[in-house]
Structure 1
Amino acid sequence: MAGAATHSQFQRLERRNRMVAALRILVPLGGLLVLAALSIQIILSTFTGRFGIERITISPEAITVDAPEYSGILQDGSSYTVSADTARASTTRTDIIDLNNASLVLDRQDGVQFQADAAQAQLDSTEQLVMVEGVAEIADTRGMTGTLTNSVFDWDAQVLTTKGPVVINQADGTTIVAEGLVYDASAVIWTFTNSVVTLPSTPGEDVSSSSSGDTDQ
């Protein structure tokens, strides 16, 4: 009886040791599989463009990538680079990636460079969308600056839709304030909703003559 009990205990101990050994392999492997899934999602979202990172941190709840940067070419030949301080995805939803201090730089075919910066943004790699619920600051090399609120950029359609307040300041002093915006990047068409345009001066007005006349009075 004692021998049988000892043999049974030995078998249980042996099974436990095999399980522990298996877990030592499976737990890191599970982390690698989640990491691979996230990496595939990110790479797919770049349209097979160049992708770089500095460091990856894996926890049971999330995967965090430090200083991610990816770039590619749009259908019209424009090149783009998207970067962030960090990118974070939940292990239960790797297709939604939270970007911290995100930046988009677009070099258009006509030589104009466009840049958009946001403190927080989300990348939906399944639907190919970049979403900014807060304020994004925009600028281009022609001197345009502005802010967009509550925006979604559809990479497939190359369309930016802003459902919140929009302020655009042109280099010539023209200001556009609107309640919304649809920007077709491929056709370079801006469509504003309920917009108010303020010009620096009335078209055709001779500023020097007007000033001279005021002085004479």
Structure 2
Amino acid sequence: MSNPPASDAPARAGGAPAAVLPASRAVPVPSRPRRTPSAGQIARRQRFVWLVKLVLPALIMALLGLLFLWPEFEGREGRLSFRRGPSMTPEALQVVAPRYQGIDEINRPYTVTAQTARQPGQDQILLLDSPQADILLNDGAWVYLESREGRYDRPRQALDLWGDVRLFHDGGTMFRTEAAVLQVDTGHASGNRPTQAQGPFGTIESEGFEMRDRGAVMIFTGRAHAVLEGRQQ
């Protein structure tokens, strides 16, 4: 009896054929041979890396410093500039509807009011819009002044008025001029601009005026022209 042909694959226990192992893969040959760096080359590379770690941060800091300081070299035309911020002190203190009251040396009251008041500096000089001044006389009568603009010097109690200045006296007299100065504590007022006065006495035009003793005495200065009205019997 002839023997069966031998199988190329080895048989496993139990008669099952064993798996065939793949053949080993061929490793490609490098295009160029590798060169192992020498000790000197390794030392040079280490020095280069150390130098880069040392120089690079210093270079970055130098560039940042140049970026911040460059506007100082270029002047105001530089793109970056650092200026001192605005001061916390306001440029002008403004008050709406102010009211200033006082009394003179014999306790006669006076009042200065306005629509708005601005104090541009540290001194007590006020710039007024639509200022008004009320002065009480001894006999209970009053003098009232108003204008478009004014300047009130509180330490000196002096009120400068300009722009359609009008003065009203309780006796029915009205003065109109373009500029006047009023000393509110004494009731003395004066002006050197053309003045028009109208009252029960008639009309008077002059080159200026002077009011003394809170309106008890009125003086017309410069050339004056008066049209007096007499009472009819």
Q: TM-score range by the shorter chain?
A: 0.5 to 0.7
Matched residue, 2:114 = 84
Q: Is it true that 1:165 corresponds to 2:204 in the alignment?
A: no
Inter-partner Cα distance in structure 1 for 2:215 and 2:229:
27
Q: How does 1:1-217 map to 2 (within 5 A)?
A: 31=89, 59=90, 61-91=91-121, 94-155=123-184, 158-170=187-199, 172-185=200-213, 188-193=216-221, 194-201=223-230, 207=232
Inter-partner Cα distance in structure 2 for 1:114 and 1:187:
7
Matched residue, 1:14 = none
Q: Which amino acid aligns with 1:83?
A: T
Could you tell me which runs of 5 or more consecutive residues in structure 1 were left unpaired when the two chains were aligned.
1-26, 32-58, 209-217
| Bigger radius of gyration among the two | 2
Inter-partner Cα distance in structure 2 for 1:127 and 1:73:
13
Query: How many Å apart are 1:156 and its aligned residue?
Result: 5.7
> What TM-score do you get using the length of structure 2 for normalisation?
0.56
Identity score, percent: 23
Contact 2:126 2:152 in 1 (8 A): yes
Inter-partner Cα distance in structure 2 for 1:147 and 1:187:
15
Q: More strand per residue: 1 or 2?
A: 1
Inter-partner Cα distance in structure 2 for 1:146 and 1:132:
13
Matched residue, 2:6 = none
Q: Which amino acid aligns with 2:216?
A: V
Inter-partner Cα distance in structure 1 for 2:184 and 2:96:
23
3-state secondary structure, aligned to 1:195: strand
Contact 1:144 1:169 in 2 (8 A): yes
Count of matched residue pairs: 153
Q: Which amino acid aligns with 2:118?
A: R
Q: Which amino acid aligns with 1:149?
A: E
Query: How many Å apart are 1:135 and its aligned residue?
Result: 2.3
Inter-partner Cα distance in structure 2 for 1:94 and 1:144:
36
Contact 1:77 1:109 in 2 (8 A): no
Could you tell me which runs of 5 or more consecutive residues in structure 2 were left unpaired when the two chains were aligned.
1-86
Q: Which amino acid aligns with 1:119?
A: R
